[in-house]
């Protein structure tokens, strides 16, 4: 509502940004901008983009796996240290 109590009328729908667009912008602002401006990716580049997307997803999965292994290792070391303290003290 405005100060006079009436609702604002948005004539220009291009100015309204949805929640999914915000998520897209957060993921890749340049991609969001190009999509919003009507730029379309030429078909010959789509295969390269798909390979790049797959490579990024694999890298992300590897990172998650390495993080899980690191956390497990830290927990194991702490448990061994606690066990040794209990046994030898």
Mean pLDDT across the stretch 28-35?
A: 84
Q: Where are the domains of the chain?
A: 18-88
* Interatomic CA distance for residues 49 and 23, integer angstroms: 19
Taking every pair of Cα atoms in the chain, the longest distance, rounded to a whole number of angstroms, is 77
DSSP state of 5: S
For residue 5, report the phi and psi dihedrals to the nearest 5 degrees: 95, -5
Question: So what's the pLDDT on residue 81?
Answer: 93
* Interatomic CA distance for residues 8 and 15, integer angstroms: 13
Mean pLDDT across the stretch 50-55?
A: 86
For residue 73, report the phi and psi dihedrals to the nearest 5 degrees: -65, -45
* pLDDT tens digit sequence for 34-46: 888 888 778 878 8
Structure tokens at 3: 């100060």
Judged against a pLDDT cut of 70, whether residue 19 lies above it is answered with yes
| pTM score above 0.75 | no
């Amino acid at each position: 509502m405005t100060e006079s109590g009436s609702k604002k009328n948005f004539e220009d729908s291009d100015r309204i940004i949805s929640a999914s667009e915000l998520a897209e912008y957060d993921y890749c602002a340049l991609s969001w901008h190009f999509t919003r401006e009507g730029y379309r990716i030429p078909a010959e580049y789509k295969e390269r983009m798909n390979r790049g997307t797959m490579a990024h997803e694999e890298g992300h999965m590897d990172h998650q796996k390495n993080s899980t292994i690191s956390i497990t290792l830290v927990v194991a070391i702490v448990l061994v240290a606690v066990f040794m303290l209990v046994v030898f003290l």
